[in-house]
């Protein structure tokens, strides 16, 4: 390894160490690797990736993709949409962007500080949404009426709903159950805890939604928020409350996610529709004319094929190094910004 690359790796090590303790801009890649298994002849292939937008909890910049096009679902939601052929045995669809997360802690003594960027009307997050949100569900109505009778105002009701969901339902692996299945099974994962809370809020005419995210440091999570005229959008987390009953997760968001969807996703295109579905990583459909097999997909983020720490490598000839940008495109030399050198990040100012 030549001295220049060693020097850059040393700079990167310092950069990674410092940035892990601060709320800074993050260069992120959201990617799916699709594979053809068998010999099927695919006549049409559609893939959807949720695309992050600037909202109450993050700022997004420099969004771009390798193929497909971005479609705005509404002013607070977007998807990367590909509709075409599937050539070869593998295919990659990815988007890259820069994200600056925002930590939020609501001060309930100050009604003048709204957590609201006014993307769309909060009333868009009212009413039923397919199998996930059903304000006519009898169990939701019974729980909601009981908690409402004990509440002094909307904030008090929301806190009672948050505590009720956390304490009366159990954590069960396997997320994105329908509302009926959540109630029948007595719990679920984070997406299901969020669904329960959203139903209870919307039943009483209070705007509420799912915040669907990808962990900056790996993993996935979903949590709800609700809207109040005095404070704007108020985040909370009944799933965390379930795992730590003594913790306080009401009015608090720690900025650990990249939010890729707010609410459920509906998209209608030519000969294709997706209605009221949670979109967290990707969805895809394919049509084939003959052969045997299928198409599979694997989700990858920056954490899956980049590293934050540097492990020194000795005796590696410079001619053997592969250099890529953050979108995974091979380069012939180091360039400004973040480069991926043999799987390691090299930052060039």
Single pTM value for the model: 0.79
Q: What is the CATH number of the domain that holds 146?
A: 3.10.620.30
Closest CA to 236 of 298, 328, 146, 158: 158
129 and 44 co-located in one domain:
no
Domain assignment present for 80: yes
* Between 161 and 275, residue with greater pLDDT: 161
Q: Where are the alpha helices (DSSP H) in the chain?
A: 3-19, 138-150, 154-168, 179-185, 190-203, 238-243, 302-305
pLDDT at 176 over 80: yes
Answer with the one of 206, 224, 254 that is the final residue of a domain.
Answer: 254
Query: Mean pLDDT throughout 276-300?
Result: 93
Answer with the one of 254, 278, 298 that is the final residue of a domain.
Answer: 254
pLDDT, tens digit, 9 for 90 and up, residues 263-285: 999 888 877 788 889 999 999 99
326 and 225 co-located in one domain:
no
- Considering its fold, how many domains does the chain have in total? 2
114 and 225 co-located in one domain:
yes
The end-to-end CA distance of the chain, in Å, is 20
Within 8 A by CB and 6+ apart from 64, the residues are 95, 96, 97, 327
110 and 141 co-located in one domain:
yes
Residue 2: predicted pLDDT:
42
User: Pseudo-torsion of CA 84, 86, 87, 89, nearest 10°?
Assistant: 160
Structural tokens at position 53: 């937008």
51 and 187 co-located in one domain:
no
94 and 112 co-located in one domain:
no
Domain assignment present for 211: yes
198 and 295 co-located in one domain:
no
pLDDT, tens digit, 9 for 90 and up, residues 209-236: 999 999 988 899 999 999 999 999 999 9
Domain assignment present for 184: yes
338 and 279 co-located in one domain:
yes
Per DSSP, 129 falls in state B
Lowest mean pLDDT among 55-64, 248-257, 325-334: 325-334
pLDDT > 90: percent of the chain: 68
204 and 314 co-located in one domain:
no
Distance CA 203, CA 228 (A): 15
86 and 226 co-located in one domain:
no
Q: What is the span of the domain harbouring residue 239?
A: 105-254
112 and 244 co-located in one domain:
yes
Rounded to 5°, the CA angle 347-348-349 comes to 115
Per DSSP, 2 falls in state -
Domain assignment present for 154: yes
Lowest mean pLDDT among 66-80, 267-281, 287-301: 267-281
pLDDT at 129 over 50: yes
CA 198 to chain centre: 17
84 and 21 co-located in one domain:
yes
């Amino acid at each position: 390894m030549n001295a220049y690359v060693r020097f850059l790796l040393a700079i990167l090590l310092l950069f990674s160490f410092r940035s892990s303790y601060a709320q800074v801009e993050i260069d992120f890649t959201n990617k799916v690797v699709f594979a053809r298994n068998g010999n099927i002849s695919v006549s049409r292939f559609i893939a959807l990736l949720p695309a992050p937008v600037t909202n109450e909890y993050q700022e997004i910049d420099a969004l771009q993709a390798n193929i497909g096009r971005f479609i705005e679902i509404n002013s607070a939601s977007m998807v990367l949409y590909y509709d075409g052929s599937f050539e070869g045995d593998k295919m990659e669809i990815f988007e890259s962007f820069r994200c600056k997360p925002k930590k939020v802690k609501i001060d309930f003594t100050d009604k003048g500080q709204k957590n609201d960027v006014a993307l769309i009307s909060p009333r868009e997050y009212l009413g039923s949404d397919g199998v996930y949100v059903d304000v006519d569900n009898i169990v939701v109505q019974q729980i909601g009426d009981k908690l409402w009778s004990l509440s002094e105002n909307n904030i008090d009701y929301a806190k009672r709903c948050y505590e009720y969901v956390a304490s009366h339902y159990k954590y069960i692996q396997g997320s994105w159950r329908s509302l009926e299945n959540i109630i029948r099974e007595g719990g679920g994962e984070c997406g299901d805890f969020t669904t329960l809370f959203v139903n209870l809020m919307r039943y009483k005419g209070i705007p509420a939604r799912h915040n669907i995210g990808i962990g900056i440091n790996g993993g996935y999570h979903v949590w709800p928020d609700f809207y109040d005229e005095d404070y704007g959008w108020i985040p909370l987390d009944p799933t965390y409350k379930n795992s730590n009953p003594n913790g306080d997760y009401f009015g608090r968001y720690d900025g650990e996610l990249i939010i890729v969807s707010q609410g459920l996703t509906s998209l209608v295109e030519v000969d294709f529709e997706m209605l009221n579905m949670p979109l967290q990583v990707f969805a895809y459909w394919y049509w084939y004319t003959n052969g045997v097999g299928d198409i599979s997909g694997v989700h990858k983020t920056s954490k899956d094929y980049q590293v934050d720490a540097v492990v020194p490598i000795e005796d590696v000839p410079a001619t053997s190094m592969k250099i890529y940008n953050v979108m995974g495109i091979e380069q012939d030399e180091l360039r400004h910004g973040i480069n991926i050198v043999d799987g390691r990040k090299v930052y060039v100012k």
